[in-house]
């Protein structure tokens, strides 16, 4: 059986907004700049990414205290909409799995899907 990360990496993302939106385009440009910092920054980039993930964890679920959000649509530590993302309920509720998914999304330039992301970078 493939690992959770292998499944996440092979999955496609379902768009949840209009990609032509000027707000999303500017967020995507910002995300590209930030991803360059994370992936090209060696140990520093990795530290910054982990700080961003910690901040998102705090803002999204109060470090796991609030595991249901967005009127019952978002689940787990990183408030993942499992109806829109290739993540199971069990993965969303598991700290390591949901953090790995959020990390993968950030590194692929899609951290903007979390409302907390821009406040954490």
- Per-residue CA distances from 23 to 13, 34, 75 (Å): 19, 16, 25
Q: What is the SS3 assignment for 58? A: helix
pLDDT digits 0-9 by tens, 54-83: 999 999 999 999 999 999 999 999 999 999
Rounded CA gap, 60 and 43, in Å?
25
The continuous run of DSSP H or E covering 107 comes out as helix 95-107
Q: What is the pLDDT of residues 86-96, one digit of tens each?
A: 999 999 999 99
- Could you tell me the pTM of the whole model? 0.69
């Amino acid at each position: 059986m493939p690992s959770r990360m292998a499944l996440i990496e092979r999955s496609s993302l379902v768009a949840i907004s209009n990609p032509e939106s000027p707000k999303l385009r500017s967020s995507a440009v910002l995300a590209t700049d930030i991803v360059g910092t994370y992936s090209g920054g060696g140990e520093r980039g990795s530290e910054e990414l982990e700080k961003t993930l910690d901040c998102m964890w705090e803002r999204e679920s109060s470090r796991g205290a609030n595991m249901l959000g967005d009127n019952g649509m978002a689940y787990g530590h990183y408030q993942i909409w499992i109806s829109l993302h290739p993540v199971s309920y069990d993965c969303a509720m598991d700290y390591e799995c949901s953090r790995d998914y959020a990390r993968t999304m950030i590194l692929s330039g899609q951290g903007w899907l979390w409302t907390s992301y821009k406040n954490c970078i």
